[in-house]
Amino acid sequence: MDKIVSLEKALEKIKDGMTIMIGGFLGVGTPEKLIDGMIEKGVKDLTIIANDTAFPEVGVGKLVVNKMVKHVQTSHIGTNPETGRQMNAGETEVELIPQGTLAERIRCGGAGLGGFLTPTGIGTIVEEGKRKIKIRDKEYLLELPLKADVALIKAHKADKKGNLVYRKSARNFNPIMAMAADLVIAEAQEIVEVGEIDPDEVMTPGIFVDMIVRGDK
Amino acid sequence: MDKIVSLEKALEKIKDGMTIMIGGFLGVGTPEKLIDGMIEKGVKDLTIIANDTAFPEVGVGKLVVNKMVKHVQTSHIGTNPETGRQMNAGETEVELIPQGTLAERIRCGGAGLGGFLTPTGIGTIVEEGKRKIKIRDKEYLLELPLKADVALIKAHKADKKGNLVYRKSARNFNPIMAMAADLVIAEAQEIVEVGEIDPDEVMTPGIFVDMIVRGDK
Amino acid sequence: MDKNKKRELIVKRIAKELKDGDIVNLGIGMPTMVANYVNEGKEIIFQSENGFVGLGPRPEKGQEDSDLTNAGGQPVTIIPGGAFFDSATSFAIIRGGHVDVTVLGALQVDEKGNLANWMIPGKLVPGMGGAMDLTVGAKKVIIAMEHTSKKGDPKILKKCTLPLTAKEEVDLIVTEMGVIEVTDKGLVLKEINPAFTVEEVQKKTEAELIIPDDLKEMVVD
Amino acid sequence: MDKNKKRELIVKRIAKELKDGDIVNLGIGMPTMVANYVNEGKEIIFQSENGFVGLGPRPEKGQEDSDLTNAGGQPVTIIPGGAFFDSATSFAIIRGGHVDVTVLGALQVDEKGNLANWMIPGKLVPGMGGAMDLTVGAKKVIIAMEHTSKKGDPKILKKCTLPLTAKEEVDLIVTEMGVIEVTDKGLVLKEINPAFTVEEVQKKTEAELIIPDDLKEMVVD
């Protein structure tokens, strides 16, 4: 079971209409090679789950600019004017989610939980359409799990079994997304032999990773 | 702000009637020096939150044997006959919680969430007294967060700011407990200078740790 | 059959059930033995709920590491490519459906796939440990047990009488008498140990067994 | 006062508010500048919601690391003793009350401590990012803003008209005119910039200000 595949082979799995989680925070920790491959392949009608839509020339932002995104679940679009334009023009559906709630919903999806109660968003429009539950006299919103067909992950280092190590603030959403999708494709800047990553230093266990694509250093 | 303190100084903080989380799994990853100190000091009426009550001569088990525990929230008492005896004799209140639910309730407490929905325990006596919530036709139990006055943590390595690294399966409940208590005391086998632990390898950030006690190697 | 032979048969048969690439969690006791009989050609990754994947065999004497045990507290090893994590992550893995198979012991199982294996009221209350999460979370739940209790009473019932570990989660029951699948229609005897007749198996089973036309022999190496 | 002087005054005053050992999260824009004015004697740990504690100053030119930015995407450094973590942990820290102080900008604040800072319907919808979690989770929420809008309209209102970021969570408002505390009784002008009179401050504030007997001067170095 060799998990290392060519970019082309990995891209075969990405189809029109899919729900795709993409790691990164303003492009930091986003697998750019996979993104570029998706653009070249020309998939469309995607639902993207990502912290933000980055910048027009960076990461998730490029998918938006290339009009491949039908729906996006994200916490911030302010750095990519094209997302706002498409939203106002009714071309792309934008669902804004508080960042902590977004992260927790993804974790919740991967962890097999049915939902969680958060104080975030109480008394704001984020409440709309959600159940409110009172615990010990404090109100919480019931937020539901998020899952995806595919998660695109950027790792600093991978071993051949898919154990991943991230670097600095490029970690962000990657570890939780790697647990919440049916198929997980990791773009790794460096691929090492099994055993070269200390089991105590693994940040995403290889059991979550289906395919590894060699990224640019 | 030197966080390194003597065992005596740390023990001053532990008082009768407190709720105390203690890391470890059948004693692996339990801060034995702190436990022994508590026994010597002779605190009582404690509520202990721990995965299990270990063995009569190991970890949390010693607190039970010394009759310091009024109430225990745990997933397993089978390895310590004294816990069962005290339970049956009505001397100690034992609240059995599925291990995954216990871990998640502790994380929930540290993460500022009001609760979470789990499928674990549905159709069993674990349901008793709990709210059931249906999400997309599936039933879940609403489980509530756990917090403590003090968490006793066993680390392999600590720097002087309290950044912690655990070793192998001694990690277990330690990282989540370190986030869920008002006061966190870590017993570290090795204490190093600030900067000696790579920020990418820190498992518990120092912001959570109030006191560090030197443990045995 | 003596107890050891029975157990060996059961765990050998279960080992055949595991597929290449499966992530597997083995309960304490008899289930732990399954690891010893996995076919060389298959790569099975064992998960240990105390916080790692890549559970390896017991270390040689003198090589034990006090920071590395299985969920039963016994010294073990970790294989190259394994990974450690905390307990919340361990159960995110278990509850989240990332474990393909769990093998657990049982006090009772019934025809709905209900399982009781964590307490006998007033007698034995060890606690559920990770069993409730494993039963609910693993994609496939296999029960490894002797067909009857020490007294010879059936353990496969119409309806469990002991407090449940989980409701309708068991997929397969493997005993020294055969392999029984839990289906919507009831319990199907898929394989039978040729040392027994169908009648003998049914006699030791309180729940009614469905006997398919293609009933096979329970074979192990 | 020109814009830069105003901002400098605001962030310098807020820097005085931070206590030794505080864990602090600074919002994008003006709040980020607070870090530049922390008194040397105090050890403040800055949290960055994209996943670390120990946020340090901007690196020297040529020393930027593309894997290390603040939540605004600008290159930064991490101090010795800092630590990285994932986004779920980052917000467990924020929501869980482990951040002592957050400093955020505002479009509007009102006398109940309601805050609006994430959207102007039909005009500007950048999204809330981490602001909602920070406002709800941090022990103390300090607003750093100019006292009035560009047009000179009050931003401290009886009731916010824009969509809220959080309900009744603001503790302190610092503007170039003074320091205002949100209390159960209403907004208390704790300190006033001696360049203004109480009447001038009230005139630029829609909500009614409570003027305490011990009103102090807003002093920075």
The whole-angstrom separation of Cα C47 and Cα D22 is 40
Residue-level pLDDT at C63: 96
Residue A87 within a domain: yes
CATH code, domain with C120: 3.40.1080.10
**pLDDT per residue over C78-111, tens digit each?**
999 999 999 999 999 999 999 999 999 999 999 9
Range of the domain at A52: 7-214
The helix (H) or strand (E) run that includes residue D137 is helix D131-137
Using the CB atoms, write b or e for D35-67: b if 16+ within 10 Å: bebbeeeeebbbbbbbbbbbbbeeeeeeeebeb
Average confidence score pLDDT of chain B:
97
Phi, psi of B60 (to 5 degrees): -55, -30
Candidates D86, D93, D110, D170, partner chain A, best to mutate (most A CBs within 10 A): D86
Residue D28, both tokens: 């994008």
**C92: nearest CB among A1, A110, A161:** A110
For residue A33, tell me if it sits in a domain.
yes
**Residue C20 structural domain:** 3-37+98-217
**pLDDT in the model for residue A105:** 98
Q: What's the rounded Cα separation, in Å, for the pair D141 and D152?
A: 24
> Which residue numbers in chain D have pLDDT < 70?
none
pLDDT of residue A43 exceeding 80, the answer is yes
CB contact under 8 A, C21 and A1: yes
Q: Looking at the complex, does the CB of residue C37 fall below 8 Å from at least one CB of chain A?
A: no
Q: Which parts of A29-108 are beta strand (E)?
A: 46-49, 69-74, 93-96
Q: Residue B141 in contact with residue B127, Cβ under 8 Å?
A: yes
**Across-strand partners of D36?**
none
Catalytic residue flag (residue D8): no
Taking the C-alpha atoms of residue B161 and residue D19, their distance in angstroms, rounded to an integer, is 17
Report the distance separating Cα B113 and Cα B104, nearest Å. Answer: 11
Output the pLDDT for position B1. 60
User: Which CA distances in Å does D215 have to D111, D181, D191, D218?
Assistant: 18, 12, 6, 9
Does the structure show a pLDDT above 70 at A1?
A: no
Would you tell me how many other CB atoms lie within 10 Å of the CB of residue B15? 15
Identify the pLDDT of residue B71: 98
Return the pLDDT at A2: 86
- B98-157 pLDDT, tens digit per residue, is 999 999 999 999 999 999 999 999 999 999 999 999 999 999 999 999 999 999 999 999
Tokens describing residue D139: 């022990």
Residues 6 or more apart from D13 whose CB is under 8 A from it?
D174, D179, D191, D218, D220
Of B110, B205, B206, the CB nearest to D85: B205
Q: Is D126 contained in some domain?
A: yes
- D69 and A28 within 8 Å at the Cβ level: the answer is yes
Residue C218 has pLDDT above 90, yes or no: yes
**What pLDDT does B213 receive?**
98
Are C and D touching by the rule of 3+ CB pairs within 8 Å? no
Q: How confident is the model at residue C70 (pLDDT cuts 50, 70, 90)?
A: very high
The structure's pTM equals: 0.98
Contact at 8 Å (CB) between A187 and A154?
yes
Instruction: Give the Cα separation of A75 and A50 in Å (integer).
Output: 8
Assigned token pair, A135 = 């615990």
> Which H or E run contains A116?
strand A115-118
Report CB contact under 8 Å: D130, A99. yes
> Is the CB of residue D110 less than 8 Å away from at least one CB of chain A?
no
Distance of CA C99 to the CA centre of its chain: 13
C78 vs A contacts (CB less than 8 Å): 199
- Which regions of B25-83 does DSSP assign to beta strands (E)? 46-49, 69-74
The pLDDT value recorded for residue A113 is: 98
Q: Which residues of B touch D (CB under 8 A)?
A: 1, 107, 109-113, 159-161, 163, 179, 194-195, 199-200, 202, 205-208
* pLDDT higher than threshold 80 for residue C67: yes
pLDDT band at C114 (very low <50, low <70, confident <90, very high): very high
- Provide mean pLDDT across the span C48-69: 97
Is residue A46 included in any domain, yes or no? yes
Q: Which of residues 9 through 38 in chain A touch B, CB cutoff 8 A?
A: none
Does residue C132 sit within a domain?
yes
pLDDT tens digits, one per residue of A79-101: 999 999 999 999 999 999 999 99
Q: Distance of CA C43 to CAs A197, A214, C53, C54, Å?
A: 19, 24, 13, 11
Report pLDDT for C83.
Answer: 98
Please give the residue of chain C at the shortest CA–CA distance from A200.
C84
ipTM score of the complex?
Answer: 0.97
* Contact yes or no for C127 and B125 at CB 8 A: no
Q: What is the pLDDT of residues A107-119, one digit of tens each?
A: 999 999 999 999 9
- What is the distance between the terminal CA atoms of chain B, rounded to a whole angstrom? 25
pLDDT of residue B2: 86
Inform me whether the C-beta atom of residue C85 falls under 8 Å from chain A C-beta atoms.
yes
Answer whether residue B202 is part of any domain: yes
Strand partners, B10: none
CA dihedral A54, A58, A59, A64 (to 10 degrees): 70
Q: How far is B165 from chain C (nearest CA, A)?
A: 12
D86 interface with A at CB cutoff 8 Å: yes
Q: Looking at residue B217, what is its pLDDT?
A: 74
Question: Computed over its alpha carbons, how large is the radius of gyration of chain B?
Answer: 17
Once rounded to an integer, what is the mean pLDDT over residues B160-176? 98
Q: Going by beta carbons, is chain B in contact with chain D, meaning 3 or more pairs sit under 8 Å apart?
A: yes
> Domain containing A176 — which CATH number?
3.40.1080.10
Q: Is residue A182 part of a domain?
A: yes
Asked whether the predicted pLDDT for residue A163 surpasses 70, the reply is yes
Say which residue, A209 or B1, is predicted with more confidence.
Answer: A209
* Structural domains counted in chain B: 1
Total number of domains constituting chain D = 1
Contacting residues for D197 by C-beta, under 8 A, at least 6 apart: none
Is residue C1 scored above 90 in pLDDT? no
